[in-house]
Amino acid sequence: MAESPPTVEPHVEQPGPAEFRDPLLREELRRASVWIGLALVVAGVIFLAQPLLLILGGLVFGVVLDGGARALGRFLPIGRGWRLSLAILIGIGFVAWVFYYAGTTFAAQAGALRMVVETQALKLYAWAQNAGLITDPTPGTIGQQLMGSVGRLTTAVGSALGALTSALLIFVIGIFIAIEPRLYDRGVAWMLPLRHRDHFYRITNRVGFTLRRLLFGRIVGMIFEGLFTWFMLAWVSRLIGIGPIPMAALLGLITGILAFIPNIGAIVSGLLMVAVGFSAGPNEGFFAIFVYFAVQNIDGYLVLPYIARRTVDLAPAIVLAAQLILGALFGFLGLLLADSILASLKVTLQELSKERSAEKGEGPELVGGNPAA
């Protein structure tokens, strides 16, 4: 009798290390991937800080051009493309005039201003040493360290070629964004789920509106502070019998340029103004102090609040903290864009908070705020 083949018990396959069927393991892997992705984003921001800041600078410049085109639309009944071209030409013409005028008129004054600042810093150090406030036996070292960077800022007016490449990239990016801003909004929104796209458009409209008002106020403040400083130092001082303050036009130009940087720009321009004033005499020095406080108070309490009354409210201490942090991390571009970045973040968080409150039924939906003007 033939033997029957042995029966083979069925083998049950078990999950291997390449399969993740355990719900707990899959949940932990999902959480780990979120943290790993966040770490990669942070590392990317750190290593790509300069390109990202150039892109942000281009966005800010594009907002300025778009705001200029919108402002011209209130007076010129022409197409947006023509208004944008006119705004670009006005901006280029102004920058070219500044460089030409600074190069022909202020080149020698810039070097003299640096010498004046360093000399006044050494005098201040000597006075503090004689008064017993400083016991360092190496006179002038601290004064040079404190005022060296301030003195170097004065040479940037006539020699800004070091940042020409970055400025050119920001200029080109800003023009492309200003030509068709909705194209880039739609490109970013395409990567979001459909249910979130309307919210994204409302937030970008609000951020764009806020930045336009904020930067418009900055530009008007720059023009006011520059012209008012020049007028007070060159003409009012002469009318009251003090005589014109040396390098009044250069100080006005520097004050106007540094007015784009809140807080820190005002401090630097004030130090320069006072140093030059006391180099000409005590009366000129005290008048320079008066001019500085007059300019800052009129601009801070009359000009900017009237222009930017509908923008986001930024506490000066928070703006200064953001400037110090971004300046330490990313250099001059971080310092320059600190208030714009902070304003954008605050508006975004405010709009997200309003949306969540509206979804939970805690109040009427106020998303969007003021319409994009």
pLDDT at 279: 85
Give the C-alpha separation, 336 to 166, whole Å: 13
Q: Which two tokens stand for residue 306?
A: 């009237």
Q: What is the pTM of this model?
A: 0.74
Tokens of 28: 């932990």
User: 252, 292 in Cβ contact below 8 A?
Assistant: no
From CA 110, how far away is CA 247, in angstroms rounded? 9
Q: Are 366 and 353 in contact (CB under 8 A)?
A: no
* CA gap 20, 68 in Å, rounded: 56
pLDDT in tens, the chain (373 residues): 555 555 555 555 555 555 556 677 777 778 888 888 888 887 877 777 788 888 899 999 999 999 899 988 888 888 888 999 999 998 888 878 777 766 666 666 666 777 777 787 788 778 877 877 666 555 444 444 444 444 444 444 444 444 677 888 888 899 999 998 888 888 888 888 888 888 889 999 999 988 988 888 888 888 999 999 999 999 888 888 887 788 888 889 889 988 888 888 888 888 888 888 888 888 988 999 999 999 988 887 777 776 655 566 777 788 888 888 888 888 888 888 898 999 899 899 888 888 888 777 655 444 444 444 4
SS3 at position 364: coil
d(CA 212, CA 218): 10
Q: Looking at residue 7, what is its pLDDT?
A: 59
Q: What is the pLDDT of residue 368?
A: 42
Q: Where are the domains of the chain?
A: 52-131+165-357
DSSP string, 37-48: HHHHHHHHHHHT
Q: Is residue 73 a contact partner of residue 80, using CB atoms and an 8 Å limit?
A: yes
